[in-house]
Amino acid sequence: MSIKVGDKCLICGDRAEVYSTNDINYKFIECNNCGRVNYNTYDFNSSYKIDKDILASYLYYNGKIDKLIEDEHHYDFIGSQKKFEEDIKIYPYAKYISKEECIAWYPKSFSEKVDVILIGFAKLLKFDGCPITFTDGQLLSALFIKRYNKDNIETSLNERNLQLKFILIYLEDNSYIKSMDQNNIMLLPNALSRIDKLQKDIALNSKYVFVAMSFAPEMSEVRMAIRSAIEQSGYIPRIMDEIEHNHQIVPEMLYEIRNSSFVIAELTGHNNGAYFEAGYALGLGKEVVHICKKDVFGTDGHFDVKQVNTILWENTEDLNFRLRKRIEATIM
């Protein structure tokens, strides 16, 4: 049974509802900035330890923040992978947030931050010229404002306001935005032009990898092995049932494939969807890595792909090793 234990997000520090279960290490967070998060404080402060500012911005842009999904087990999990692998067997909507994925996603330069900010703004547009409204906490996460110093102590309000003022003045001086007030922003034509160019070029330098696979519960361990191999290779996995969007599934899926560096197609179980997604990627000239469980490839592997150099895996450890070696040899 969960009981409320706080009203401050353990990640971004903004107002939130925080619950605890019988295991005092686990905190369940409902935050307007970070989304719905299952957070293991013990793991976070030990093996998982990561800069909270990186995590807060990652969750703002990539977390499961759709409040329309009322199932409390639709959440992002922050903690040990072993514990998550136990949870996902029961709660398949959960998503594991790894330290490696957060760091790989986080912009490495000021210019990259501006690109992410502008694309993020554009996703919130209802129509051109429409004001975009943020809460104070959302704006801090969206603009990559440092909330904590190197000792994990919260920065002062003055320090945060100086950062906020700096980035907003930069965006205004470059005619990217018009600040109607601090919490309401209008995206200007100059920003839309930059975004158009970014979206055309994004796949060329993308760190995303689209994974075409079955979402069946029995494939959860396979999913984790694929995810781990991608992250260990310095890329970010994109799996459709983990991606938040407001569009029809097929157009969104094709958009994700177009914006990915390459595609992994897991073919075990006569997965017709994976064949479709792999074919679309090949038509775009992208690299596609085929994988399939070894003892079923004879029946699950379609005639058209049996001539492709497919990774035939025996167990999840073997899959992780072989997939990492293939990415290192043919992609990196």
Tell me the mean pLDDT per 10 residues along the chain, length 332: 82 89 76 86 64 92 60 74 72 76 87 92 88 92 92 88 94 93 89 84 75 85 91 88 69 84 88 85 88 79 68 92 91 76
CB distance 40 to 78 below 8 Å: yes
- Which DSSP category does 76 fall into? E
The whole-model pTM stands at 0.68
Residue 322 has which token pair? 């072989």
Q: What is the pLDDT of residue 175?
A: 95
Q: What is the pLDDT of residue 201?
A: 66
CATH 3.40.50.450 in the chain, residues? Answer: 206-332
Phi, psi of 28 (to 5 degrees): -105, 120
Q: Which amino acid is at 329?
A: A
73: enclosing H helix or E strand: none
Q: What is the pLDDT of residue 57?
A: 95
Q: What is the pLDDT of residue 86?
A: 73
Q: For 285, left (φ over 0), alpha (ψ -120 to 50), or beta?
A: left
Q: What is the pLDDT of residue 97?
A: 83
Distance of alpha carbon 239 from alpha carbon 14, whole angstroms:
29
Q: How many other CB atoms are found less than 10 A from the CB of residue 291?
A: 25
CATH 1.10.10 in the chain, residues? Answer: 110-202
Cα–Cα distances (Å) from 170 to 97, 106, 164, in that order, read 31, 20, 10
110-202 is classed in which CATH architecture?
A: Orthogonal Bundle (1.10)
The CATH number of domain 206-332, selected from 3.40.50.450, 3.40.50.360, 3.30.830.10, 2.30.42.10: 3.40.50.450
